């Protein structure tokens, strides 16, 4: 039997809890997944079934959203992130990664986090999910892919101000990103000969210096 997918709650005052409830309403037990977070933060009238083990997910999903409860410090007010919940958000992500690493979950899906709330409430040292997941996985270099059926997009720089991009973009960084992306397209998407296009930083890739020299 395929293991269920873990869904971390993300910022409880954001869209994560609502997405989780809607996903269960649409998927039911056809694609078993379980939510890691505080049940209090889910939308009112969401059918939930609390579980203590991911192995209970498939059965629980027949009756409601399976929830692996993780108590938070404070309630959640939609649209108003509370720094008091910051450590809970961080711990849920780490818990989800641990469940995947131990084989109890097939994959981890992450609801959005509020980076400033994490910094204010828990001194979160990472600029985003990607870097924190890399640290938990003990991987030095990763890339972030946005994928759909027709296209996969990988940004070379992430989680930095737009004004810092030209200085951060180097030939070595671009080469590394291409190499990792090429390998992932072969391994994870089954593309034997991936075709990769590189977008120019400036319009028309700088037009030989007429529109910038960063290229």
- Could you tell me the pLDDT band of residue 60, with boundaries at 50, 70 and 90? very high
Give the mean model confidence (pLDDT) for residues 146-157: 91
Tell me, yes or no, whether 131 and 154 share the same domain.
no
State the total domains in the chain.
Answer: 2
Residue 28 has pLDDT above 90, yes or no: no
**Residues 184, 91 share a domain:** no
Do both 126 and 155 map to the same domain?
no
User: From CA 78, how far away is CA 146, in angstroms rounded?
Assistant: 26
Last residue of a domain, one of 122, 142, 162: 142
> What's the mean pLDDT in 48-71?
96
- Is 28 found in the same domain as 17? yes
**What is the predicted pLDDT for the residue at 214?**
81
Measure the CA–CA gap between 84 and 129, rounded to whole angstroms: 19
Of the three residues 142, 161, 186, the one that is the final residue of a domain is 142
- Let me know whether 76 and 35 are in one domain: yes
What distance in Å separates the CA atoms of residue 176 and residue 142, rounded to the nearest whole number? 9
pLDDT the model gives residue 201: 87
Domain membership of residue 30 as a residue range: 1-142
Q: What is the pLDDT of residues 169-183, one digit of tens each?
A: 999 999 999 999 999
For residue 57, what is the domain's CATH number?
A: 3.40.718.10
Query: DSSP string spanning 33-81?
Result: EEEEE-GGGSPTT--EEEESSGGGHHHHTTTSEEEEE---SS--BTTB-
Other C-beta atoms within 10 Å of 47: how many? Answer: 11
Average pLDDT for 36-62? 96
If asked whether residues 199 and 134 sit together in one domain, one would say no
> What rounded mean pLDDT belongs to the chain?
93
pTM of this prediction?
Answer: 0.89
Give the residues across from 108 on adjacent strands: 6
Calpha distance 156→165 (Å, rounded): 9
| Residue 1 confidence (pLDDT) | 54
Stronger pLDDT, 7 or 2, i.e. the higher one: 7
Q: Does residue 164 share a domain with residue 100? A: no
> Are 194 and 112 in the same domain?
no
pLDDT of residue 38: 97
Tell me which of 107, 142, 177 is where a domain ends.
Answer: 142
Instruction: Reduce the DSSP state of residue 162 to 3 states and report it.
Output: helix
136 and 186 belong to one structural domain: no
Residues 129, 189 within the same domain: no
Q: Do 168 and 82 belong to one domain?
A: no
Residue pair 42/76 in contact by the 8 Å Cβ criterion? no
Average pLDDT over residues 126-152: 91
**Are 16 and 44 part of one and the same domain?**
yes
Percent of all residues in the chain with a pLDDT value above 70, rounded to a whole number: 100
């Amino acid at each position: 039997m395929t293991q269920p997918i873990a869904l971390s709650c993300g910022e409880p005052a954001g869209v994560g809890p609502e997405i989780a409830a809607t996903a269960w309403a649409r998927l039911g037990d056809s694609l078993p997944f379980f939510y890691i977070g505080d049940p209090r933060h889910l939308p009112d009238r969401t059918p939930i079934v609390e579980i203590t083990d991911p192995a209970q997910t498939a059965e629980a999903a027949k009756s409601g959203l399976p929830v692996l409860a993780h108590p938070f410090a404070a309630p959640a007010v939609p649209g108003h992130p509370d720094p008091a919940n910051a450590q809970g958000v961080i711990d849920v992500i780490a818990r989800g990664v641990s469940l995947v690493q131990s084989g109890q979950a097939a994959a981890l899906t992450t609801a959005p986090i509020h980076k400033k709330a994490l910094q204010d409430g828990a001194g979160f040292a990472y600029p985003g999910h990607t870097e924190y997941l890399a640290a938990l996985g003990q991987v030095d270099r990763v890339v972030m892919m946005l994928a759909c059926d027709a296209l996969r997009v990988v940004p070379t720089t992430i989680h930095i101000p737009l004004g810092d991009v030209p200085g951060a973009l180097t030939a070595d960084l671009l080469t590394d990103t291409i190499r990792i992306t090429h390998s992932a397209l072969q391994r994870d998407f089954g593309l034997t000969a991936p075709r990769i296009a590189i977008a120019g930083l400036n319009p028309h890739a700088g037009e030989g210096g007429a529109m910038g020299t960063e290229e």
